[in-house]
Copies of this chain bind each other. A is one copy, B any other.
Amino acid sequence: MYDFGLLSPVWAGTRAAELTSDTAFAQAMLDVEVAWCTAQVKFGTAPESITAAVAAAGDIDDYDLVAIANQTPNGANALIPLLAAMRDKVAATNADAAAYVHRGATSQDIIDTALMLLTARVGEHALGHLKTSVRQLTDLAAAHANTVMIGRSLDQHAQPISFGYRVSQWIEALGSAGQHFETTLGNLPLQWGGAVGTSTWWVDYFRAEQPENDPMSLVNRQRELLAEELGLFPASVWHANRIPVTTVAQAAFQMVAAAAKLANDVLTAVQAEHAELAEPTAPGRGGSSAMPHKNNPVLSIRLKSAAQVAAGDLNTLHTGVIANTAERADGGWHTEWAALRDLLRTTGAVTEILAELTGGLEVFPEAMRRNLDIHGNYLMLGRITQWLGPVIEAHGGMSEGTGKQFVQTTCQQAIANGDDLAETLVANLPEGLVSVDAVNKVLDPSGYMGGAATIVAEVNSRYRKWSI
């Protein structure tokens, strides 16, 4: 019952969907509770004897998640019923142990920390696939550093570029977003503060038990043990400070946005009229029995849709964040959860799709060249003018601009008449000033890519090593 992804081709069937399922989230909540018991044992505030009973209650497959979901509205969170069930399980094995479960903690500690754990898990998965994608793209960029194609501005033919240059811009976006996300992943914060964030239970406890020590120092040291146990950063409490969750979500979205740009470009290039690229094929994918000529670019379609969905989820999260109040919000916090999870799920799925797409993208240099030639020498007018104008002016002692004017007029007429451009120009200029060969060299678009290959090399040097 409920949701498997039938309405979400973006993530249906992905590993990211599993890593971010309700089951995975509930497991993460159990993991936090178990780790907290472990931390108490390590710090000496709980007896070693509780370990087995607590560990035995730590597998989410032993819980009835539908029942827990049905009780979720009662307290407006899922931890309350899950914790009750967990305590029962622990107590069934070891009656004394149950008192240590969740001791001094609050729902928000567990839910926020579990979401960070989920982020770490799906984040590592996503980062791995992103790096794979970047690595594959650096290969592609290097291979096509000099493969000429038309560059487009405002979706229109502008000047020649190399395909490798276009790929380098995909890499730059994906790589910088990936590095930013990696930094964020390395600083995912533990949430731990008790009812209103001030650790009252534990401060009272340590005041009574270790009156000679500063209680908050003990609280903090115990918290560090928990953070270490979970692989999170032992941050100050952030119940009422939602910047950490905003940072994670924004960073994830950047990767999705970078992937969407790539997908948009692929979707244009695979159109039959362009035919510059093709998505990798796989059995059962993208075809249509009714229309055998179709190879639907489903990977790019999924990436494009993913970005629309992710932008919406980030927006929802932001809406929740700005409604934050007091020590725990009355609705805004609740809005964050699914928005963050859905965004992470989409992000993970995007990286899986991207790794597949970039691993098998087919490139058709001939088609690139054919499309480039649609406007023929019109494309080169700027260049020929830049080069030939000053030559003419220098020769004839003409004022600046006159040569430029002459070149433009002559060229446009030649193109309009269908005459050979180089021959027409040479014929209209003083003999010996320029040769047909020299003009033709300037008219060769493959020589008119500026620093494309250099930019490819620079970008690869920035991201290649990181991606391996």
Contacts and interface: CB of A to CB of B under 8 A. Distances in A.
Nearest to A153: B328
A161 B286 contact: no
A297 interface: yes
Count chain B CB atoms within 10 A of each CB in A65, A261, A328 and give the residue with the most: A261
A254 interface: yes
Chain A contact surface mostly: helix
Count chain B CB atoms within 10 A of each CB in A242, A267, A318 and give the residue with the most: A318
Interface in A301-324: 301-305, 307-309, 311-316, 318-324
A386 interface: yes
Contacts of A341: 7
A296 interface: yes
Given A246-B257, A451-B198, A451-B216, A4 B2 contact: yes
Contacts of A381: 291-293
Contact of A315 (B172, B315, B320): B315
A387 interface: yes
A332 B316 contact: no
A151 B161 CA distance: 31
A140 interface: no
B257 A322 contact: yes
Nearest to A282: B74
A361 interface: no
A308 B21 CA distance: 22
Given A272-B371, A305-B331, A332-B308, A13 B201 contact: no
A302 B76 contact: yes
Given A195-B153, A247-B254, A302-B334, A13 B200 contact: no
Interface string A428-468: 00000000000000000000111110110011000000000
B243 A204 contact: no
Interface stretch (A35-43, A46-54, A123-131, A232-240): A232-240
Given A9-B72, A22-B7, A326 B237 contact: no
Contacts of A291: 157-159, 195, 378-379, 381-382
Given A76-B301, A271-B274, 15 more contacts: A2-B21, A3-B22, A4-B69, A9-B76, A76-B302, A151-B326, A152-B326, A156-B271, A159-B196, A166-B327, A240-B261, A257-B318, A290-B382, A293-B378, A312-B313
The 6 closest A-B pairs by CB, nearest first: A312-B316, A198-B450, A304-B331, A151-B196, A200-B450, A153-B328
